[in-house]
Homo-oligomer: A and B are copies of this chain.
């Protein structure tokens, strides 16, 4: 009885999910090869053995296509846990991870993710889940451990971290400014630690990288 169908299939031949997956794999591959700027619809079509209309049918801009490719990356996670025994150590380790990521990636790609993906909470969440702690967000257990050690009040929030770290580090990376260990220590000591210790106000604004737009 047809009233059971919430939404029936659209008419016509459905899109081939295999094509889609194959294409996005090529996009991922090409991002590594030629970078974001060098990526073109033409090139993707050639390498994927697909036609341009097939691409345009799915994504109308390069950005959309790249974002889809990133979202389609397998969510493996790196399983890393952060626990150095002190809040300061944990923070520095997180910043170190982020620094590594930034150092290795194409800045234009980072820029894309920044501009395209960060306004998309799902993508953000996906990135965090798929790649493990990226250093862009403060994992809840780090906060908990710090509270257990008495380094932070029980109700300390991650706002200061989430908001500040990603924005500053990425901005520095994009502008070829240094974000070496010395810099990171200074950020921890003169901004993050004071801010985290103080902040007891309930947060109404999610951090930039928290994946949830208020």
Contacts and interface: CB of A to CB of B under 8 A. Distances in A.
| Secondary structure call for the A interface | helix
Contacts of A195: 190-191, 194-195
Contact of A208 (B168, B198, B201, B203): B168
Contacts of A34: none
A119 B203 CA distance: 33
A160 B205 contact: no
Contacts of A160: 190-191
A119 B175 contact: yes
Report the interface size class on chain A.
35 or more
A177 interface: yes
A177 B175 CA distance: 21
A178 interface: yes
A207 to B, nearest CB: 9
A163 B170 CA distance: 12
Contact of A115 (B159, B163, B174): B174
Given A190-B160, A195-B194, A175 B205 contact: no
Nearest to A115: B174
B118 A175 contact: yes
Interface of A: 111, 114-115, 118-119, 159-160, 163-164, 166-168, 170-172, 174-178, 182-183, 186-187, 189-191, 193-195, 197-199, 201, 203-205, 208, 213-214
Given A170-B171, A172-B208, 9 more contacts: A111-B111, A114-B174, A115-B175, A163-B168, A164-B167, A164-B191, A177-B208, A182-B205, A191-B191
Which 7 A-B pairs give the minimum distances between C-beta atoms?
A: A190-B199, A194-B198, A167-B171, A167-B167, A194-B194, A167-B168, A118-B175
